[in-house]
């Protein structure tokens, strides 16, 4: 069912860094994913408003529906950003 969705590897193929460090490690990535999701939805709202001139309620619903296919990619990208942020702050 979810065969085409991106999947996070357990370890890095280049340096063998273990991605899932501890329970709840990616909590910060959820905040990043939320911020990226809001930004993408805002872009969709503006695009839909420029093309349709719908009311705000309809624009937000349409943008949320348009965001659904991008959500798995945003989640994985947020995890990657969180890993880079964590390694920059605490390399060990």
Summarised one tens digit per residue, pLDDT across range 53-90 is: 999 999 999 999 999 999 999 999 998 899 889 889 88
Among 20-24, 37-41, 79-83, name the one with the lowest average pLDDT.
20-24
Give the whole-angstrom CA distance, residue 18 versus residue 50.
Answer: 45
CB neighbours of 86 closer than 8 A, spacing ≥ 6? Answer: 28
Question: Residue 79 to residues 36, 46, 61: CA-CA distances in angstroms?
Answer: 12, 27, 26
pLDDT at 1: 47
């Amino acid at each position: 069912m979810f065969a085409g969705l991106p999947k996070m590897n357990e370890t890095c193929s280049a340096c063998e860094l273990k991605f899932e460090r501890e329970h709840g490690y990616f909590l910060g990535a959820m905040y990043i994913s939320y911020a990226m999701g809001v930004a993408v939805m805002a872009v969709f709202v503006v695009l839909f408003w420029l093309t349709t001139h719908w009311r705000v309620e309809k624009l937000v619903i349409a943008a949320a529906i348009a965001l659904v296919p991008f959500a798995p990619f945003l989640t994985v990208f947020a995890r990657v950003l969180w890993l880079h942020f964590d390694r920059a702050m605490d390399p060990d």
